[in-house]
């Protein structure tokens, strides 16, 4: 099935090329990053794309995250199937000693959990780095948790071997701040998504989905008839969705369920708070033998459903098998499912110079560019480009583009070139690439080939990507050929020069761009007019400073792309 996704297309470098000033000196040019494939590979700062990175520091929307948990003995880095009951008891004693020390520090950091019902759950998880407070020293226990934030906590809490390969969700591209956590949670079997490869990362997660995720990810089973055990404990058991009955019953029997303020009300479809998610995860870690059970003297135990004091009863026998089943989070009910299109429009981050982000296997793109006046003439012209991706960008991706120059004046592919770009995506939305433009040519394109290297980084400026001025993409590179200065081009001096671009997402569908091609400055605006259709339009003015050619020129780019 073809899944259309965002395509962030930039303009062809119509006014910035390595122009030979011959009879075809005004032939327009494309750079290898012009029509681009699905937005998830781009650094443009648009909506729901790779341009929503997670920074190393916790932000307002990401404060549930912390540093990597301390590797305590018996932690979940070991295979669950190797855990035995004696090991769990020994681990619990060791962990409890460490946690007592850590709690002293945490009590001074999280100012708003003192006396909170979930304090006993929150403090040890904060000490382990599974969760984290806000910069102002608060935890905000009653704030909701999004599906992306929950995935991030799962990644921190459970470090287990993957049971399956990752999947590319159409609304969580690799530049999205929690994409790595979402992929990890999926690969471990805790999370999947909605039909159509949709994850809905910004959706607040209901309590029932948290319980189903933990029960399925830990592969817990239920020993009694499911409706019977649920009816015995919850007054509102009829509200549990049919798909979740088995997993909720398993979570109940393994004492993962925590209900505040009334232990008999599950409130399955209510949005989970930060305090509730902390409680669920802590109890799941107790089941796994990674943290100690709460002592009966602690207030929080009265909200643990079917709580049994560790002082008076033996710990339950470990029943967790090796991770073997995939987990699918489905809508609470079919009528509640909002059909979300897999098409998302995203504006670009550059106009005429390449970025380090490119197409991978399955990505296909096409675009066109128009300029009102070619350099040193009064004639307009245009160019077309199409291409595809190979490889995998987190290893090595290869973008292949074929460009038709001077299309209006001389015909389609009369003068054309093939361009290649190798690219690699690192964590935290940082990428590097090396490319050759016009490594092979048809006809007589005047620009010649251009070899370059470039690095790009996406910065998240605000916690919510739908807010104005929320993301910034910066690219910086060095290259020869068309990236040389005007002086060197005219004198045919073989040299290298610096180029780069800055793209700022101003509002959800629009970014503004400043692009230095090595020869001149181009200013533009990239617009994705339809949120659910991957069309990107980029009007710009080339050579606004008059450094190259014979003055400023209007250029317009349009692009479209999809991924199989």
- What is the residue-level pLDDT of the chain in tens, covering all 564 positions? 333 333 333 343 333 332 322 222 222 222 323 323 222 222 222 222 222 222 222 222 333 333 333 333 333 333 333 333 444 455 444 455 444 444 444 443 688 898 899 999 999 999 888 998 887 788 999 999 999 999 999 999 998 889 999 899 999 988 899 999 999 999 999 998 899 899 999 999 999 999 999 999 999 987 766 677 888 899 999 999 999 999 999 999 999 999 999 999 999 999 999 999 999 999 999 998 889 999 888 889 999 998 887 655 444 333 333 333 333 333 333 333 222 333 445 788 999 899 999 888 888 999 999 888 877 777 888 889 999 999 988 789 999 999 988 666 666 777 889 999 999 988 778 899 999 999 988 777 766 899 999 999 988 787 555 678 888 999 999 999 999 988 888 888 989 999 999 999 998 789 999 999 998 899 999 998 886 677 899 999 998 988 776 788 899 999 988 776
The confidence score (pLDDT) of residue 372 equals: 84
Domain stop point among 336, 366, 393: 336
DSSP 66-118: -SPPP--TT-TTS-GGG--HHHHHHHHHHHHHHHHHHHHHHHHH-TT-TT-TT
Domain stop point among 336, 369, 387: 336
The answer to the question of residue 232 being in a domain is: yes
Residues 285 and 377 in one domain: no
Number of neighbours of residue 219 by Cβ within 10 angstroms: 19
The confidence score (pLDDT) of residue 314 equals: 41
The first and second tokens of residue 418, run together, are: 């093939």
Residues 315 and 250 in one domain: yes
Q: How far apart are CA 377 and CA 494, in angstroms?
A: 26
The confidence score (pLDDT) of residue 240 equals: 94
Q: How far apart are CA 472 and CA 141, in angstroms?
A: 31
Residue 416 main-chain phi, psi, to 5 deg: -145, 165
The first and second tokens of residue 506, run together, are: 């101003």
Residues 303 and 432 in one domain: no
Residues 481 and 363 in one domain: yes
Number of domains in the chain: 2
The answer to the question of residue 3 being in a domain is: no
Domain stop point among 336, 370, 391: 336
The answer to the question of residue 9 being in a domain is: no
The answer to the question of residue 538 being in a domain is: yes
The answer to the question of residue 74 being in a domain is: no
The answer to the question of residue 20 being in a domain is: no
Range of the domain at 257: 80-336
Which stretches of 274-345 are DSSP H helices? 274-287
Residue pair 406/381 in contact (Cβ under 8 Å)? The answer is yes
The confidence score (pLDDT) of residue 41 equals: 25
Residues 331 and 348 in one domain: no
- H or E, element range at 213: helix 207-217
The answer to the question of residue 384 being in a domain is: yes
Residues 284 and 361 in one domain: no
The confidence score (pLDDT) of residue 409 equals: 66
Confirm whether pTM is higher than 0.75: no
Residues 319 and 377 in one domain: no
The confidence score (pLDDT) of residue 464 equals: 55
Residues 149 and 267 in one domain: yes
Residues 217 and 257 in one domain: yes
- H or E, element range at 218: none
Residues 88 and 233 in one domain: yes
Buried b (16+ CB within 10 A) or exposed e, 102-120: bbeebeeebeebeebbbbb
Residues 246 and 303 in one domain: yes
DSSP 141-187: TTSB-BHHHHHHHHHHH-----SS-----TTS-TTSTTHHHHHHHHH
Dump strand ranges (E) for 321-380.
Answer: 363-371
Q: What is the CATH number of the domain that holds 360?
A: 2.40.160.40
Residues 314 and 352 in one domain: no
The answer to the question of residue 58 being in a domain is: no
């Amino acid at each position: 099935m073809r899944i259309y996704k965002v395509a962030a297309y930039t303009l062809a470098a119509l006014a910035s090329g390595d122009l030979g000033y011959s009879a075809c000196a005004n032939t327009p040019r494309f750079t290898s990053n012009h029509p681009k494939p699905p937005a998830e590979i781009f650094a443009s700062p648009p909506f729901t794309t790779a341009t929503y990175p997670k920074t190393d520091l916790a932000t307002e929307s990401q404060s549930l995250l912390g540093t990597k948990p301390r590797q305590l003995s018996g932690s979940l880095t070991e295979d669950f199937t190797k855990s035995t009951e004696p090991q769990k008891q020994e681990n619990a004693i060791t962990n409890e000693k460490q946690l007592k020390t850590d709690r002293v520090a945490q009590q001074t950091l999280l100012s708003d959990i003192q006396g909170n019902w979930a304090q006993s759950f929150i403090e040890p998880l904060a000490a382990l780095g599974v969760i984290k407070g806000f910069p102002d020293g608060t935890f905000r226990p009653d704030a909701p948790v999004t599906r992306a934030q929950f995935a991030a906590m799962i990644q921190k809490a459970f470090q287990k071997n993957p049971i399956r390969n990752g999947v590319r969700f159409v609304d969580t591209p690799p530049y999205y701040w929690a994409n790595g956590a979402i992929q990890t949670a999926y690969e471990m079997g805790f999370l999947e998504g909605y039909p159509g490869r949709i994850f809905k990362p910004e959706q607040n997660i209901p309590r029932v989905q948290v319980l189903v995720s933990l029960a399925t990810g830990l592969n817990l089973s239920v020993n009694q008839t499911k409706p019977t055990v649920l009816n015995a404990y919850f007054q509102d058991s009829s509200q549990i969705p049919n798909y979740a009955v088995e997993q909720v019953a398993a979570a109940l029997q393994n004492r993962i369920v925590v209900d505040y303020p009334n232990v008999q009300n599950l409130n399955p479809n209510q949005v989970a708070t930060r305090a509730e998610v902390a409680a669920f995860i802590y109890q799941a870690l107790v089941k796994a033998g990674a943290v100690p059970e709460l002592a009966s003297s602690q207030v929080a135990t009265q909200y643990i459903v079917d709580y049994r004091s560790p002082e008076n009863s033996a710990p339950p026998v470990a029943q967790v098998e090796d991770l073997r089943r995939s987990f699918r989070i489905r809508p609470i009910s079919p009528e509640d499912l909002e059909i979300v299109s897999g098409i998302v429009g995203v504006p670009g981050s550059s106009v005429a110079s390449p970025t380090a982000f490119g197409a991978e296997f399955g990505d296909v793109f096409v675009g066109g560019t128009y300029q009102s006046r070619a350099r040193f003439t009064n004639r307009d012209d245009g160019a077309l480009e199409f291409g595809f991706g190979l490889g995998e960008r987190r290893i090595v991706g290869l973008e292949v583009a074929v460009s038709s120059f001077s299309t209006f004046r001389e015909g389609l592919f009369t003068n054309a070139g093939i361009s290649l770009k190798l690219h690699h995506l690192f964590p935290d939305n940082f990428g590097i690439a090396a490319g050759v433009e016009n490594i092979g040519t048809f006809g007589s394109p005047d620009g010649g080939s251009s070899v370059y290297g470039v690095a790009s980084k996406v910065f998240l400026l605000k916690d919510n990507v739908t807010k104005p001025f929320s993301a910034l993409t910066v690219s910086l590179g060095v290259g020869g050929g068309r990236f040389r200065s005007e002086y060197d081009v005219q004198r045919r001096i073989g040299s290298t020069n610096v180029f780069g671009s800055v793209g700022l997402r101003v509002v959800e569908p629009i970014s503004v761009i400043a692009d230095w091609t090595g020869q001149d400055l181009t200013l533009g605006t990239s617009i994705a007019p339809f949120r659910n259709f991957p069309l990107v339009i980029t009007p710009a003015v080339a050579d606004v400073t008059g450094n190259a050619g014979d003055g400023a020129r209007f250029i317009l780019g349009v692009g479209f792309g999809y991924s199989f």
